[in-house]
Amino acid sequence: MVRELSFRTGRLGRLNDLHAEIARTVVERNGGRTVLPSLLAFAWPKMLPVKVHGDIARLLSPSVVRLMFHPDRSDALGSENVLRSIRNAAPFLEEVTSMGAHPSAMRVVDELVQFQHLRVVQVFAALPHDDIYALLSKLRLTELRVCIFLDPGSTIRPIKNESLRELTIHGAPPDLAAIFPAWSFPALQCAEIALLDQNLDGGADLHTPDLFAAIVAPLSPTALLTLDIAVGVTHPSSRARSAALPLAQFLRPTFQLRGLRSLRLTITGHVALSADDDVFAELAASWPSLCALQLEFRAWHADGPVPTPLVLLSLARSCPDLQKLVLPYLDHAVELEALPQRNVLEAAAHPLRQLFIADDRSKENITPEVAEALCDFVGGLFPRLSPHFRRYLREPRKAWTEVLNRLRGGRRR
């Protein structure tokens, strides 16, 4: 009994003609009835020529609920033709994935909204705001993955979608800052937001104070469990190089998400951040249910401030369920007297298993005495650390490589 079928086509005309002929012959010899009555998922991950659409659609049955396709670039209406050809064959589709940044994908929404059973939509081409609005207002989606852009002069219409559980959206900071405050997703549990800051039009960029307040505006303070924000900065502007961007500017708007269990903030490109220990104390107090925290970016701004290892103490005390922690460099040049001794630490049973702290190549190497003191401090806070998480560290003699290697037992006497 076939449940899933992946149909791979080629660029050669003869091969595609052969595939079409096989599909026609199989269906005709079965009296026009589908030969796969129990089929649930159908995919053609490579480009499907327009002349094959109808023949392949004849293999489908009303039982199909998942569809993945890649339209032919030579077909100006590729995505529309694919969906039209299968509308009658598989009217109960629940999940559609349109691969490739094909121009026809920008006209696919008119066809998608005809499938009233759709719950999951993934479109890898950029769509205008009006198309995203149509998907969210006409379908009871539970999961949406899209790239969005805002046409100049577009009217932003407010929308409240109470069915969406997962959202993955990519866009430019000015567009998302304008659109998100008009949206509301009270049931959203998982959000992945990617910002590409090209700063081409002088609009909102990462240094705009209210940008992240706008980004989190549609998110529910109680329902959201997972937040993944990725930021890519492509413009090496003088401001990006000279001005420190406070980490608090990113994080404080998200502190209202009290039920958050996982946060990942990834920043790549020409931007340097700054933070002190108070920001991490506020973070830890805001998210008592946090299980995973990942702050991944290259380095802190040269002028600081830079957080110290004492932020680990704040996280251990305020986040008792934390199991995964990835942090940028922490200033290892800390007064050893400020570190609590292993025998007086309060979090002896903390469940943290995965810990990684990045190194800063511009900082001095660590001395054995400081490495041993930090090792005792971290090991006392988190006695259950796994020795296998990010095991291969590539900064020998640097501070946190040395400390984590000692914790793993490689150099512990």
Residue-wise pLDDT for 150-205, tens only, equals 888 889 999 999 999 999 999 988 899 999 999 999 999 999 999 987 664 444 56
pTM confidence score:
0.87
- Cα 220 to Cα 166: distance, rounded to the nearest angstrom: 12
Residue 164 lies in a domain: no
Residue 30 lies in a domain: yes
Q: What residue type is 219 in one-letter code?
A: L
Asked whether residue 53 falls in the same domain as residue 18, the answer is: yes
Q: What residue type is 407 in one-letter code?
A: L
Instruction: Please give the pLDDT value at position 276.
Output: 95
CATH code of the domain covering residue 103: 3.80.10
Residue 291 lies in a domain: yes
pLDDT tens digit sequence for 355-396? 999 998 888 888 889 999 999 899 889 989 987 776 555 666
Which of 21-25, 124-128, 257-261, 335-339 tops mean pLDDT? Answer: 257-261
**DSSP assignment, residue 139?**
S
Asked whether residue 410 falls in the same domain as residue 324, the answer is: yes
DSSP codes of every residue in 283-342: HHHH-TT--EEEEE-S-B-TT-----TTHHHHHHHH-TT--EEEE--------GGGSPPG
Instruction: Please give the pLDDT value at position 42.
Output: 77
Q: Which domain holds residue 342?
A: 316-413
DSSP codes of every residue in 20-88: HHHHHHHHHHTTTS-S-TT--EEEEEEEE-GGGHHHHHTT--TT--EEEEEE-TT-TTHHHHHHHHHTT
Asked whether residue 303 falls in the same domain as residue 340, the answer is: no
Tell which residue, 365, 358, 367, has the closest CA to residue 400.
358
Q: Is the confidence at residue 137, as pLDDT, over 70? A: yes
Q: Is the confidence at residue 244, as pLDDT, over 80? A: yes
Asked whether residue 135 falls in the same domain as residue 175, the answer is: no
Q: Is 236 helix (H, G, I), strand (E, B) or coil?
A: coil
Out of 307, 339, 356, pick the residue that ends a domain: 307
Asked whether residue 223 falls in the same domain as residue 247, the answer is: yes
Tell which residue, 112, 115, 124, 182, has the closest CA to residue 148.
124
Burial of 342: CB neighbours in 10 Å, binned 0-12, 13-18, 19+: middle
Residue 207 lies in a domain: yes
Asked whether residue 11 falls in the same domain as residue 102, the answer is: yes
Number of structural domains in the chain: 3
pLDDT tens digit sequence for 223-237? 999 999 998 877 655
Asked whether residue 251 falls in the same domain as residue 368, the answer is: no
Asked whether residue 39 falls in the same domain as residue 142, the answer is: yes
Q: Does the CA dihedral 49-53-55-61 come out positive or negative?
A: positive
